[in-house]
Amino acid sequence: MAIALQDVFYTFEGEAGPAIDGISLAIRAGEWVTIAGPSGCGKSTLGGLLSGYLPRAGGGSREGRVTVGGLDPASAEIADLAGVIGIVFQDPDAQLVQGRLEDEVAFGPENLCLPVESIERRVTASLQDADLLERRRDNVNELSGGGRQRAAVASVLALEPPILVLDEAAASLDAASRQRLLALLRRLHQSGRTLVTLTGRLDELALAATRLVVLAAGRVAADGATAELLRDQRPLLSGLGLLPQAPGEAPRGEAAPAAGSRELQDAASPQAPASPAAAAAARPGAAPLLELRGLSFAYGAKGRRRSGSRPDLTEPAVLKDVHMRIHEGEWHILRGDNGSGKTTLSRLMLGLLPAPSGAIFWRGRDASRSSLYELAEDIGYVFQHPDQQFVASTVLDELLYGPRCSLKLRAKDATPEPLLLKAKEMLRMIGLEGREQASPYVLGGGEKRLLSAAAGFMTGKRLILLDEPTAGTDYAGARLLSALCRKAVSEGTAILMITHEPEFFAGEQTKIWTLDNGKLREN
């Protein structure tokens, strides 16, 4: 067996119950298995156990037997384990350690002390597989979110492990990149590699696996051939949020109450109706909160930045004559392929890049005359990877951190009752009621995204930017996020959501823009 687990339990430090609750599982060499389940079911925890990250680096306690390629990941030598299994984490920034891309991909083989010729061959082949060969000398930080995710894939491929685990490895990829990754995985599988894909939804990449294992609340809820489970267990799969709900289907949690967890029932409650509530429409003649007037921007050589109404023609323009207006109570969606300029545009809006004079206006004032701190008083940003944004040790304190800072409250000060009630209502809306004292870092990936979005809305900012808030989340989590956004815009908050997945918000009262090669168009 390539992978074998027998009566495995795992509990995070400080948590009362296990995240992995008695799993027994065997995966044969050469199999392609998708392990799917709702946020918080234990998928990423299982991946951490297989890679050896848990418990040796992440703490907690493991019981039961785990073998990967004949080794126990908790005690095997790192070099030995690296020759057997490679894992691509949900957050690529958590595993990228070098500056230049080719150095990043070479890092693993170099640490295995391979010959120079072998390292060069592996680096070139892996970058080509990840469609990054032409950018091999670029800095990793210059890549888009999807580009960094492909860089993480390339760095693991360069180790040539016989077992490959991918934890939501396509979450930040555009449609074309997802298809290229799918084609790559099929080639790897045909060559005899053992593949394990961890996912919160059954999309085309997940369904390409020959076998499907479904997790719920840390246990195996179903295990069998993918096509058969898709045919025979559709109520269970859609009930857990792994498939979109068809009209008339039971809400998530009702189809399989014994397998679900508390948040599964919460997702089915009436506070998240399927039909959209009307967003607060802009008053006739009202001035926009944010306005872009012919914004163009180019990065200069060696990191120099040039911006203005016209880009420097000697350098490629990232943004070209962008016009945009956002009023209070409006919900806008910005989509575009990896590298289309979405991140650059958001950084300019936030003041993280110097705004060109006369191109960006916040509440009628030229943003180039405002400091980063002045803009931050009114504009909030929800990171693509929530772990990079968390600042508190508990879920409740994470929600309260921003409002407490605004009120200049010290740690020993009592939290005002209205603020505490608002936070508890927010937890109910995102399905985390009862998890107030849990660490944000032990939540599932989708739960982390919902918490970071809720924390952003708790701050009372006039405009909130959400960067890929549905990446890697399940369908039920996307419905909870929709309800959260719907409530915010009804109260006058403006939203700009950057996403590859606007289809999750079909039927909502949104305006959709597409950024294509630096040019913006309204759909």
- Tell me the pLDDT band of 169, cut-offs 50, 70 and 90: confident
Determine the number of helices (DSSP H) and then strands (DSSP E) in the chain: 17, 20
Q: Last residue of some domain: 220, 236, 267?
A: 267
Q: Is residue 97 part of a domain?
A: no
Mean pLDDT of 235-262: 61
Q: Is residue 174 part of a domain?
A: yes
For residue 111, the surrounding DSSP H or E stretch is: helix 101-111
Q: Last residue of some domain: 267, 282, 309?
A: 267
Asked if the peptide bond before residue 55 counts as cis, ω within 30 degrees of 0, the response is: yes
Q: At what angle do helices 175-190 and 145-157 cross, to 10 degrees?
A: 10
Q: Is residue 61 part of a domain?
A: yes
Tell me the pLDDT tens digit for each residue of 460-471.
999 999 999 998
Domain check: are 348 and 448 in the same one?
Answer: yes
Predicted local confidence at residue 230, as pLDDT: 95
Domain check: are 471 and 352 in the same one?
Answer: yes
Q: Where are the alpha helices (DSSP H) in 430-496?
A: 445-458, 475-490
Domain check: are 456 and 333 in the same one?
Answer: yes
- Residue 71 belongs to a domain with what CATH number? 3.40.50.300
Please spell the DSSP secondary structure of 112-170, one letter per residue: TT--HHHHHHHHHHHHHHTT-GGGTTSBGGGS-HHHHHHHHHHHHHTT--SEEEEESTT
**C-alpha–C-alpha distance, residues 507 and 510, integer Å:** 8
Tell me the pLDDT tens digit for each residue of 327-347.
999 999 999 998 889 989 999
Matching residue, tokens 């990043």: 104
- Tell me the pLDDT band of 295, cut-offs 50, 70 and 90: very high
Predicted local confidence at residue 126, as pLDDT: 96
Q: Which of 159, 125, 163 is nearest to 4 (CA)?
A: 163
Domain check: are 313 and 261 in the same one?
Answer: no
Is the whole-model pTM more than 0.75? yes
Q: Is residue 255 part of a domain?
A: yes
Q: Which of 135, 149, 141 is nearest to 500 (CA)?
A: 149
Q: Last residue of some domain: 235, 267, 299?
A: 267
Domain check: are 201 and 70 in the same one?
Answer: yes
Mean pLDDT of 53-62: 91
Look at the chain and report how many structural domains it folds into: 2
Q: Is residue 15 part of a domain?
A: yes
Tell me the pLDDT tens digit for each residue of 131-156.
999 999 999 988 888 899 999 999 99
Domain check: are 211 and 346 in the same one?
Answer: no
**C-alpha–C-alpha distance, residues 482 and 461, integer Å:** 18
Least confident of 220-224, 244-248, 372-376: 244-248
Predicted local confidence at residue 257, as pLDDT: 30
Q: Which residues pair with 521 in a beta bridge?
A: 514
Predicted local confidence at residue 14, as pLDDT: 86
**CB atoms inside a 10 Å sphere around CB 155:** 28
Judged against a pLDDT cut of 70, whether residue 301 lies above it is answered with no
Predicted local confidence at residue 362, as pLDDT: 97
Judged against a pLDDT cut of 90, whether residue 292 lies above it is answered with yes
Domain check: are 325 and 420 in the same one?
Answer: yes
Q: Under a CB-based contact definition with an 8 Å cutoff, are residues 333 and 511 in contact?
A: yes
- Return phi, psi of residue 76, to 5°: -70, 155
**C-alpha–C-alpha distance, residues 456 and 381, integer Å:** 7
Q: Strands 360-362 and 365-366, how do they pair?
A: antiparallel
Predicted local confidence at residue 267, as pLDDT: 35
**C-alpha–C-alpha distance, residues 491 and 485, integer Å:** 10
Percent of the chain at pLDDT exceeding 90: 75
**Could you tell me the strand order of the sheet in which 194-199 lies?**
85-88, 163-167, 194-199, 32-36, 211-216, 219-225
Domain check: are 410 and 505 in the same one?
Answer: yes
CB-based contacts of 258: which residues, under 8 Å, 6+ apart? none
Domain check: are 310 and 422 in the same one?
Answer: yes
Distance of CA 329 to the CA centre of its chain: 25
Mean pLDDT of 511-522: 94
Q: Is residue 156 part of a domain?
A: no
For residue 472, give both structure tokens: 């890697």
Domain check: are 297 and 195 in the same one?
Answer: no
Q: Is residue 459 part of a domain?
A: yes
Half-sphere CA count of 488, side-chain side, radius 13 A: 33
Q: Which of 473, 509, 122, 53 is nearest to 281 (CA)?
A: 509
Q: Is residue 112 part of a domain?
A: no
Domain check: are 208 and 311 in the same one?
Answer: no
Structural domain of 357: 290-522
Domain check: are 345 and 199 in the same one?
Answer: no
As a whole number, the mean pLDDT across the chain is 88
Predicted local confidence at residue 432, as pLDDT: 96
Q: Which residues pair with 223 in a beta bridge?
A: 213
Predicted local confidence at residue 305, as pLDDT: 44
